[in-house]
Structure 1
Amino acid sequence: MSFIELNSGPWRGVAFLRGLGGPEDTPAGCKSLMWRHDGTSRLGGVLERAQAQVLIDAAAVPDRVQRAQPDPFVLRSVTTESAGEAFVFAGRMFSRSGDVETLEPCVAAQLTIAPETELAITVYEEFEYAVVAADGDLAVNRTPVPGRSVGFLDAGHRTLGLENHSDNIAHVLILGGGPA
């Protein structure tokens, strides 16, 4: 399996799975965070029907299996209309904390963005971010990020602009952490 390299905080790579397993392919020094569109993630072990496998530095997380299935909450667009929903898996974002414990400050969240929607989210200025576009036709701060690819944002930004230009829902992972 090939991974797209991330290097945003403790996040090291991502592979899109199409519902297949993949933790046995985890490189040395990394742990696997499996993720699926329904707002479920699992650090270590298998997650049935996962859409992506995200690699995190093994030193950044406790050595145990963790599962997160947080309650969704409504996202608001720049016009304050409903823009979809979000789930926070690790760290703190949107004034919510994730269930996955980390030993290093970082964040992992899913955004399910409605079609033809623009939103702005507040981010930690000291973090760099990887925006994993599982599907959809996204733009991150006006830069196109097609489905099944990753956009990057250096530290120093207070907000992150996201646009879903497609006619379908876009599933996005936001992964952030301090510069390596």
Structure 2
Amino acid sequence: MSNVETDAAALRCGALVEGDRPSGAPRVDVLPARAVPLGGPRAMRVRRTLPQRERTLIGAWCFADHYGPHQVTASGGMDLPPHPHTGLQTVSWLFSGEIEHRDTLGTRALIRPGELNLMTGGHGIAHSEVSTPNTTVVHGVQLWVALPEEHRGAARDFRHFVPEPARVDGAEIRVFLGSLAGRTSPVRTFTPLLGAEIVVEPGATVTLAVDTSFEHGLLVDSGDVRLIDTVLRPAELGYVPRGSDTLTLVNESDAPARTVLLGGPPFGEEIVMWWNFVGRSHEDIVKARADWEASSDRFGVIEDFPGGRLPAPALPNAVIRPRRNPPTR
């Protein structure tokens, strides 16, 4: 998915890892979402929880958009023409609907509920995402993973994976990246990561063993979910610093509650994010934008796409300034 804001903020992001939490139960920080239109007069609006002022990264997860359920007849659905990416992997995960993905590797794939599509755009890639004609409702999340310095020029790649669900204490879990609840995704990432959809039955409590070196974020799609000692409402992201060996989720609703759990060790590098690019400096971003506007071979071409590509917005007038995560407790 593209970040199609016409006045995209330039962010320099980095996780400070010194200073662990005090003894006792970890505190959960609640990160609310902000509404962002995905361009056009019938723009589909998304709820963005990463990045924001309070927290820019959870592990290497650097971007989280949560959208829907949107009636295609009202919003026009998803219609994102070819647009570029650098320095990241995109993670597409649907709850309902169907989206066609096309990219400059020549990939033409469908994104369906419960199926992972992961695209790597290190040095540069372009893709499009368009709702299919038989889609009536689009609903899901779009996530980005920052690539570490060693791999930020990685070659273009695309992977598809359908996780087998696991049942644990009144919850159904689909692990699309990393390991949880006895399930492990085979899909390669460049830093340790966790990504899983967890649907908790009404009134159920599930306690999950997690990696103590990971910080975690729980994004709530539906229902009221108590994470440790904090209730999270739909579209809120609950952040838990590293140090916990278990996470307990309680569904306090009278219907199933759907969540997405993200995790990874604190990302020890500063990154610069602007529009659809992740780099290490303002100059990286300027170069990526210029290459896209010049139709450089860096991003390639999607053959036979029925329409034009997405132009880059104007660069900010100021040099990017650092923005950091607060120290972990």
DSSP 3-state at the match of 2:93: strand
Match of 2:145 among 45, 50, 56: 56
Q: TM-score, normalised by structure 1?
A: 0.84
**1:141-152 superposed matches below 5 A:** 141-152=228-239
Higher RCO structure, 1 or 2 (CA under 8 Å, sep 6+): 2
Q: Does 1:96 align with 2:183?
A: yes
Root-mean-square deviation (CA), in Å? Answer: 2.5
Q: 1:41 aligns with which of 103, 116, 137?
A: 116
1:58 Cα shift? 3.7
Structure 1: give runs of 5+ residues left out of the alignment.
77-82
TM-score under structure 2 length normalisation: 0.48
Q: Across the two proteins, how many residue pairs are aligned to each other?
A: 174
Cα 1:28–1:17, aligned 2, differ >3 Å: closer, same or farther? farther
| In structure 2, distance between residues paired with 1:163 and 1:26 | 40
2-side partners of 1:135 and 1:113: how far apart? 10
Match of 1:160 among 234, 244, 247: 247
Task: Summarize the Cα distance change of 1:145–1:28 in structure 2 as closer, same or farther, 3 Å threshold.
Answer: farther
Q: Which has the higher strand share?
A: 1
CA distance in 2, matches of 1:148, 1:25: 26
The letter for the 2-side match of 1:7 is L
The SS at the match of 1:174 is strand
2:93–2:140: 8 Å Cα contact kept in structure 1? yes
Alignment of 1:48-87 (within 5 A): 49-59=138-148, 63-76=156-169, 83-87=170-174
Pairwise CA distance, 1:25: 7.3
Match of 1:79 in 2: none
Which ranges of structure 2 fall in alignment gaps of 5 or more residues?
Answer: 4-35, 37-47, 51-55, 71-76, 96-112, 120-126, 132-137, 268-329
* Aligned-residue identity in percent: 22
Structure whose CA Rg is larger = 2
Distance 1:52 1:149 in 2: 13
Write the deviation string for residues 53-107 of structure 1: whole angstroms up to 9, x where unpaired.
112114479631112211112121xxxxxx1311111111122211321011111
Partner of 2:64: 14
Shift of 1:171: 1.2
